[in-house]
Structure 1
Amino acid sequence: MNSFKLKRYESFIELKDDLKEDTILISEALSDSNKFIKANNDLFEAGFIYYDTGLQPQIKMLCQSQKIFLGVNEIFFLY
């Protein structure tokens, strides 16, 4: 349940079209060098738009505390 599937996209439009209406979207400023991915499991879905600095977006679910930590480059989010 804690593992997330990652799906990569070629553009923001592709990513946006594949996200559910209430999905969290974590984004840096849009540019030509952005990467676009979706992370999801049975309980949660999030989209990431980020600069490729060699670090992949991170997502971790803590089931006991019912918290999800999301991070990409210098952007962090707790859900």
Structure 2
Amino acid sequence: MLAHAKPGDGVNSIGICLTLLKHAINIPSLKSNKIAKVNLIVGLAPVDSMSHLTALSQLMNKIQDDGWLDSVYKCNNNRQLKDLILS
């Protein structure tokens, strides 16, 4: 799940955070009767449109790599998760 501010929402420097949940939460879809199970919440705070698009592009490259996502779910502490994000 991606939770992010839009450019111009008062962000002073770009930021990203990940919250990895031990137990998935159910999020109902606004457009259908389906329920999504969420294990990972990514927060993104962009300063401007360019940093917003750059950060989203880099994030999508990582998320589309199944090996990277598997590694995220195997993290046992904040340090492992931070190292993975920055790699």
The alignment's TM-score, normalised by the length of structure 2, stands at 0.28
Structure with higher helix content: 2
The alignment's TM-score, normalised by the length of structure 1, stands at 0.30
More contact order relative to length (CA 8 Å, sep ≥ 6) = 2
Larger Rg: 2
